A and B are shown apart, each in its own frame.
Chain A
């Protein structure tokens, strides 16, 4: 009987919705109930983007995440906006190459990952999101190759199958950081 509520937040173009979709598909493949809800307002047109993902053993009630167990902040406005909303004991993943400040909360676990820098250093410029995802999977106990492969196959379209290897590389960089 457990439910994990994720909130992914950052700029449009950072793969926020993609990360959420990967998480939801992985949950589905793992036999969980899942929901995925994007922001679709004016902010997604060139500003901040966020999406709510819920993975649960029970049917999902409200698909809206207002108090995440896991916050992924990929830019400063997102950390500013959602830091206080995280449940006590929750986890915040911070892209520390883009967010210079530290998390103020002392009742949550924080993982600082210089994801954008790591992506750039490894020739994976657009995959900072999946580097953080590698860390999320490791920290939340879901780094299982088989279900990762299955979920990637769902979210990376067949026509971009050549990108699978880069996604997997990004995940492993994040998991090992």
Chain B
């Protein structure tokens, strides 16, 4: 492990983004993600990149729109209330088919809420957040290494599909330090013949725009976008299964909730309870297949979340309500303890006779 360094999750995202070729960062400070902006402020000027602290989140996302239109890798980051502000720009980018990376290091809400970790922007991230029919690819890291790896993956997916990727992290993931290897395998950036880089009088104009006043045309745009989404649902789903082979009780959890739940699964196993965990890494597209498969042998699912219960709906949809799904939750910046998750597993074991 000698080649690994200790880094905060936020710093790992920033370093990985730079390694991925991102040379444009626009943001506005907000706890608990400010280290991303601080890191960019320090590094970007030294490597010929641009760090700009915008006058607001809305300004920042529109600067992202501009750079994305010109075909360069670009990112912004914020925390929950700031992401809401960016909602309009995100929808415009979706409507203009622009790639880019958005990082949401979530904190408790709604409103200004607090500054402690939360996962209560799950609906906002996976269902849109802005207006209109669209999706973001949503990636949920559960370690500092994944904060880095998924940042690189995020840029690749964004360019591949000409759409935005969101890293949906939380305050714990942003603030914690773990050993991370920064030895990345970076694929070359794809050509972007659609970008507005100047015609040199040699080609027709490229137009980046989300306005389309002819409904027949706008409908076709939506249809085409959803054909792309179907392809992503087929090709890009990522998840981790932990002790699922013979599991009778299955936790569904992502990010910090998955880290906490892993302790509980280990503890349950040591007590002879056949517990396991499915950890979605892509929240959109949601990994439906492992849940459907697990429903064959699992007696009960438990969705562990730092919210009032949001991902639980996707779990129910994924396993088509074949087995009961219960919720184990804390909200407002609180984190479920391993003991709390273990208690939920034990209760499920008693109720369902899964021993």
| Residues of A near any B CB (own CB < 8 A) | 21, 24-25, 28-29, 31, 33-38, 40-42, 60-64, 66, 154
- B177 contacts chain A at the CB level, 8 A cutoff: yes
Q: Are B262 and A38 in contact (CB under 8 A)?
A: no
Q: Please tell me which one of the listed residues A21, A31, A42, A66 contacts residue B177 in the complex, with CB atoms under 8 A apart.
A: A21
Interface-facing stretch out of B49-57, B168-176, B203-211, B283-291:
B168-176
CA distance A126 to B178 in the complex (A): 26
Max count, chain A CB within 10 A of own CB: residue among B32, B172, B176, B177: B177
- B115 contacts chain A at the CB level, 8 A cutoff: yes
- Chain A residue numbers with a CB within 8 Å of B4 are 28
Q: Please tell me which one of the listed residues B1, B175, B178, B266 contacts residue A40 in the complex, with CB atoms under 8 A apart.
A: B175
Q: Are B172 and A36 in contact (CB under 8 A)?
A: no
Q: Tell whether A37 pairs with B175 under 8 Å between CB atoms, given A28-B1, A31-B1, A62-B262.
A: yes
| Residues of B near any A CB (own CB < 8 A) | 1-2, 4, 6, 31-32, 115-116, 171-172, 175-179, 256, 259-260, 262-263, 266, 335, 337-338
Q: Are B172 and A37 in contact (CB under 8 A)?
A: yes
In whole Å, how far is A20's beta carbon from the nearest beta carbon of chain B?
9
- Chain A residue numbers with a CB within 8 Å of B266 are 61
Q: Please tell me which one of the listed residues A41, A42, A60, A64 contacts residue B178 in the complex, with CB atoms under 8 A apart.
A: A60
Q: Are B260 and A35 in contact (CB under 8 A)?
A: no
In whole Å, how far is B6's beta carbon from the nearest beta carbon of chain A?
6
Tell me the interface secondary structure of chain A in the complex.
Answer: mixed
- Chain B residue numbers with a CB within 8 Å of A28 are 1, 4, 6, 179
Max count, chain A CB within 10 A of own CB: residue among B4, B171, B172, B179: B179
Closest to A17 in B: B177
Max count, chain B CB within 10 A of own CB: residue among A31, A38, A40: A40
7 A-B Cβ contacts within 8 A? A24-B6, A28-B6, A36-B178, A37-B175, A60-B178, A62-B338, A63-B259
Q: Are B176 and A63 in contact (CB under 8 A)?
A: yes
- Chain B residue numbers with a CB within 8 Å of A154 are 6
- Chain B residue numbers with a CB within 8 Å of A25 are 6
Max count, chain A CB within 10 A of own CB: residue among B116, B176, B263, B338: B176
Q: Are B6 and A34 in contact (CB under 8 A)?
A: yes
Which 10 pairs between the two chains have the least Cβ-Cβ distance?
A61-B263, A61-B262, A36-B177, A62-B260, A37-B176, A62-B263, A62-B259, A40-B175, A63-B176, A35-B178
